[in-house]
Amino acid sequence: MLAYMIYEKEEGEKNKRFIELFQREGVRFGISFLFLPKESYQEKELPDLVLNRTRDREVSLWYENRNVPVLHGSALVEIGNDKWKTYCHLREYFRKKKISFSLPDTVCFPEFTVEGLSQKIAKADWHRGENLVLKTVDGHGGREVFLFTAEELMRGSFTDDRKKVFQLLTGRKCVLQEQVDSQAMDVRVYVVGNEIYHGVLRQGKVDFRSNFSLGGSVREYFFSEEEEAVIRNCREAFSDLTLGMLGLDFIVARDGKLVFNEMEEMVGSRMLYSCSKKDIVKDYVAWIGWSFLAV
């Protein structure tokens, strides 16, 4: 049976080792995982399954229209790669279910401008003088995430470095959020086959960001009953979608409570392998084999 792993060409080359793990485990189920560059996916024969690793919903939609199972489906790819859409999806779900859930106050800039930022700050009372985080909705790995003090935002006079940030963000879709009071700690929750799989605690070393790719330290993390209930509520917000392998990130507030931060729809595994004995690719491929391809 044939399964395509579709990447942007450069991303595929960087993830060669990850692809090889799938190919090795696929042998056990008679699944041939083949790397396919995004540029040529419409030119090949239809496979039995697609792992869309491009963050592009159109790739998933193309296969869905041809009745080929895709992980992840276009709806999840769209929501999971837009921080504002993720936030709105969760906020609406918890409102309808009347569930108390911690989400940072957030506003959106469909097309960011400095003038728009000033207007939001002037009108907003929800941040209550707290520091704020400005980030693009489609950034990954902690890049394009910037912390602003309440003082500089209210003053509206910015350094040259800040002006460079604004130049980078101008015209792009961004969100502005209250900074959660934390010690640069967050928990990456891995989900495999719709179920909570394992956790990793990340600790930032350089600034407020805790990303492993930015030098943060990691260790295996086991959830308390209270934490697992919070995580399960979040996972169930997406129960109408198939969650193959993804990450849910929660900031660890200073009082120890988990506050949802964002979803990593195209999650990697390097961090988990570095600090635990879990073999997430092996377990994911086994779930794929039993769920999609086993006859």
The pLDDT assigned to 210 comes to 46
The pLDDT assigned to 255 comes to 92
CB of 175 within 8 A of CB of 207? no
Domain coordinates in residue numbering, the chain: 2-79+289-293, 82-101+181-278, 106-178
Q: pLDDT in tens for each of the 295 residues of the chain?
A: 999 999 999 999 999 999 999 999 999 989 999 999 999 999 999 999 999 999 999 999 999 999 999 999 999 999 999 999 999 999 999 999 999 888 988 999 999 999 888 887 777 665 566 788 999 999 987 788 999 887 787 777 788 998 999 999 999 999 999 889 888 899 999 999 999 999 999 987 655 544 544 557 899 999 999 999 999 999 999 999 999 999 999 999 999 999 999 999 999 999 999 999 999 999 999 999 999 865 4
Which residues are paired to 85 by β-bridges?
none
CB of 5 within 8 A of CB of 53? yes
Terminal-residue alpha carbon distance, the chain: 11
d(CA 129, CA 180): 13
- Report whether the peptide linkage leading into residue 140 is cis, meaning its omega lies within 30 degrees of zero: no
The pLDDT assigned to 117 comes to 86
Please state, in angstroms and as integers, the Cα–Cα distance from residue 151 to each residue in 119, 142, 147, 174, 267, following that order: 15, 23, 12, 21, 35
d(CA 213, CA 145): 13
The pLDDT assigned to 75 comes to 98
CB of 260 within 8 A of CB of 102? yes
Residue for token pair 């209210």: 154
d(CA 255, CA 8): 41
- Give the start-end residues of each E strand in the chain: 2-7, 32-37, 49-52, 70-71, 106-109, 132-136, 145-148, 174-178, 182-192, 195-203, 217-221, 245-253, 258-264
Instruction: Please give the structure tokens belonging to residue 204.
Output: 């930032």
The pLDDT assigned to 149 comes to 84
Q: How is domain 106-178 classified at the CATH fold level?
A: Dna Ligase; domain 1 (3.30.1490)
Write down the CATH number for the domain with range 2-79+289-293: 3.40.50.20
106 closest CA partner among 92, 123, 126, 89: 126
CB of 244 within 8 A of CB of 50? no
Q: Which amino acid is at 172?
A: R
Please state, in angstroms and as integers, the Cα–Cα distance from residue 249 to each residue in 198, 265, 271, following that order: 12, 11, 13
The pLDDT assigned to 295 comes to 47
Would you list the DSSP string of 188-224? Answer: EEEEETTEEEEEEEEE-SSSS---GGGT-EEEEE---
d(CA 182, CA 252): 6
The pLDDT assigned to 126 comes to 57
- pLDDT tens string 254-275: 999 999 999 999 999 999 999 9
The pLDDT assigned to 143 comes to 82
The structural architecture, per CATH, of the domain 82-101+181-278 is: 2-Layer Sandwich (3.30)
